[in-house]
């Protein structure tokens, strides 16, 4: 069936952006007004230290500019996303991007000036009544003070940023444009050019030969360039270590996590507890071997489903009802926000020509927290709906309980809210559907998700720490050295039932996250925390405690905020509980599959 045009989408299935600006003319007027106002900040440049009153006035002027801009940006951005082929909205989006650059330039003076202020003077200013509500805001800024260099050195580093990032750019071009995987025979016996997208499809094939052909072809290409990839990754690691030393951090890991107010103990606790629970992953690999009837399990066999797909079509209307029932343990106030999202058209539901692919939750402090979907009548899409609804309710509760300057939340906390909802949906489906086939499908999906997010991302985190430590110790990061370590690490993670394919030792060549600077661990901590929080909501009735986290925004450090929900991420208890849930569901799937 042909994809419908934007004009053919029923209004009730589109988001209502008129609550931001009533029409495009209203948007343009706001755009022009803000563009003309940017010069208002000039009066504060070089004067923030003059007095507490000037500091407060400069801060409030800065925040007012940013707050107004966010509304403008969201309107243009989401108008464009609903139909990227619309030239009017493409122009508006480009216009908003240009304004972003201007706003960033106009407000860039604030943080460096605050960091340059005499500590005693700033401390005295922050005791003034007008600045007291901003105390934590300034505390976060001042975390950078000990790691900020003199202005001329900062300018030098800023000027070198493009050069320092060249290895990431080289990897990206090589990985996305230049590498050639050749042709393979697909599921239907047709010769096709192998792409990353087709690779993912072929690894889910029920035919072992199809999976293995895709795996071999992909890794042949990466291994043929192993020394080039070793060079790009080594250069990126050297950059991270250089910047950490330059800014007086103990390590690149410390520089990356402390800048987000996360102590390194969170990272280390994660890798330690996951390693202690690797026997659970070994059991899951053994189950995979048995369920698939394989004499040997290879790396290419780790992604195919252990069950047949379930014939469980779910309309969008059905999905709304399922979501409300699955999220009922959160309490009436939570469900009221979910219902508002449905009733007040916060959600752009169906696919249309030109619409951005995928799904997201977006918005600004002064807008509704919108959701973009490309709905298909599948169970996976129900998961997408409750996932994005988790972000949306988080945004709503934060913005309705915090002032603008605390009205957002860091990435470290963001995915916990969405993944908790997925865990609640899994529990609801297991309790609602008696069919062994549906139960096995849901359990398999859950276990695969946990494997990919907690175990796999922690494996990546372990490798990332090792390559940075090796470079810091003066050891060369050759392709062979990294392959030796990664191959051993992979064998340790997946256990004795996984054959040691030589290709998998070079998996590091194709992982873009290794260029992101200690980012992946957050996927694992978020999934584990969400699993534990969902358990506590269901078994201990801790929904009210959980919602204190949703309401807190940026009003405290990320660890202090998540403690409100009952999770201490410097200790391993939350991980132990998450692994207990994983083990329980592994037990259930083992019984169902015999």
- Which tokens belong to 14? 């589109």
Residue found by looking up tokens 């996303």 in the block: 81
For the chain, first and last CA: distance in Å?
Answer: 40
Q: Which residues contact 161 (CB under 8 A, 6 or more apart)?
A: none
Burial state string for 404-423 with b = 16 or more CB within 10 A and e = fewer than 16: bbbbbbeebbbbbbbbbbbb
Residue 386 sits at the vertex; the CA angle it makes with 381 and 390, to the nearest 5 degrees, is 145
**Phi, psi for 536 (deg, rounded to 5):** -65, -35
**Identified catalytic residue from 388, 415, 422, 503:** 388
Phi, psi at 411, each rounded to 5°: -60, -30
Is residue 388 annotated as part of the catalytic site, yes or no?
A: yes
Q: Give the residue from 451, 490, 496, 452 showing the smallest Cα distance to 282.
A: 496
Give the pair of three-digit tokens for residue 159: 């000027």
Are 381 and 411 a contacting pair, CB within 8 Å?
no
Report d(CA 204, CA 216) in Å as an integer.
15
Sorted by sequence, the CB contacts under 8 Å of residue 10 that are 6+ apart come out as none
Task: Pinpoint the alpha helices (H) of 354-478.
Answer: 379-399, 411-432, 436-450, 456-472
- Annotate 227-289 with DSSP letters as a single string: HHHHHHHHHHHHHHHHHHHHTT-S-HHHHHHHTTT--HHHHHHHHHHHHHTHHHHHHHHHHHH
Nearest to 553 by CA among 564, 566, 542: 564
Tell me which residues are annotated as active site: 388
């Amino acid at each position: 069936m042909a994809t419908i045009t934007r004009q053919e989408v029923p209004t009730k299935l589109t988001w209502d952006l008129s609550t931001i600006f009533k029409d495009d003319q209203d948007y343009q007027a706001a755009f022009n007004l803000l563009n003309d106002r940017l010069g208002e900040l000039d009066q504060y440049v070089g004067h923030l230290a003059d007095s507490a009153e000037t500091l407060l006035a400069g801060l409030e002027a800065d925040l007012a500019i940013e707050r107004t801009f966010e509304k403008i940006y969201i309107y243009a951005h989401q108008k464009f996303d609903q139909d990227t082929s619309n030239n009017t909205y493409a122009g508006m989006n480009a216009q908003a991007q240009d304004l972003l650059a201007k706003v960033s330039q106009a407000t860039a003076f604030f943080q460096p000036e605050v960091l340059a202020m005499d500590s005693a003077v700033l401390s005295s200013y922050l005791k003034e009544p007008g600045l007291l509500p901003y105390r934590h805001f300034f505390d976060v800024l001042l975390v950078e003070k000990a790691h900020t260099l003199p202005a001329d050195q900062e300018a030098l580093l800023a000027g070198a940023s493009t050069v320092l990032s060249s290895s990431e750019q080289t990897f990206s071009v090589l990985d996305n444009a230049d590498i050639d995987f050749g042709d393979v025979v697909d599921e239907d016996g047709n010769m096709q050019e192998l792409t990353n997208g087709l690779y993912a499809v072929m690894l889910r094939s029920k035919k072992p030969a199809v999976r293995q052909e895709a795996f071999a072809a992909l890794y042949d290409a990466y291994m043929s360039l192993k020394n080039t990839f070793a060079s790009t990754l080594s250069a990126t690691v050297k950059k991270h270590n250089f910047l950490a030393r330059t800014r007086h951090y103990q390590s690149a890991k410390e520089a990356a996590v402390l800048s987000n107010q996360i102590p390194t103990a969170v990272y280390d606790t994660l890798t330690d507890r996951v390693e202690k629970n690797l026997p659970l992953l070994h059991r899951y690999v053994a189950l995979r071997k048995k369920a698939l009837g394989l004499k040997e399990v290879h790396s290419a066999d780790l992604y195919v489903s252990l069950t047949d797909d379930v014939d469980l079509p779910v309309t969008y209307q059905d999905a709304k009802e399922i979501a409300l029932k699955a999220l009922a343990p959160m309490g009436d106030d939570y469900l009221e926000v979910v219902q508002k999202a449905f009733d007040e058209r916060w959600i752009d539901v169906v696919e249309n020509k030109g619409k951005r692919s995928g799904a997201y939750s977006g918005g600004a402090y002064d807008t509704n927290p919108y959701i973009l979907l490309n709905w298909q009548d599948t169970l996976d899409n129900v998961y997408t709906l409750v996932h994005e609804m988790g972000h949306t309710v988080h945004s709503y509760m934060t913005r309705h309980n915090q002032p603008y300057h605390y009205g957002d939340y860091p990435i470290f906390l963001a995915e916990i809210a969405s993944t908790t909802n997925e865990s609640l949906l899994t529990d609801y489906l297991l309790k609602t559907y008696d069919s062994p086939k549906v139960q096995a499908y849901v359990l398999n999906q859950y276990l695969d998700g946990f494997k990919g997010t907690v175990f796999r991302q922690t494996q990546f985190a372990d490798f990332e720490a090792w390559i940075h430590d090796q470079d810091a110790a003066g050891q060369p990061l050759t392709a062979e050295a990294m392959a030796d370590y990664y191959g051993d690490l992979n064998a340790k993670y997946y256990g004795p039932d996984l054959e040691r394919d030589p290709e998998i030792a070079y998996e590091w060549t194709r992982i873009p996250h290794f260029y992101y600077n200690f980012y992946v661990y957050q996927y694992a901590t978020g999934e584990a925390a969400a699993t534990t929080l969902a358990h506590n909501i269901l078994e201990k009735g801790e929904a009210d405690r959980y919602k204190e986290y949703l309401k807190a925004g940026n009003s405290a450090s990320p660890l202090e905020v998540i403690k409100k929900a009952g999770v201490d991420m410097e200790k391993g208890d939350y991980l132990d509980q998450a692994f207990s849930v994983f083990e329980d569901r592994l037990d259930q799937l083992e019984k169902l599959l015999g």
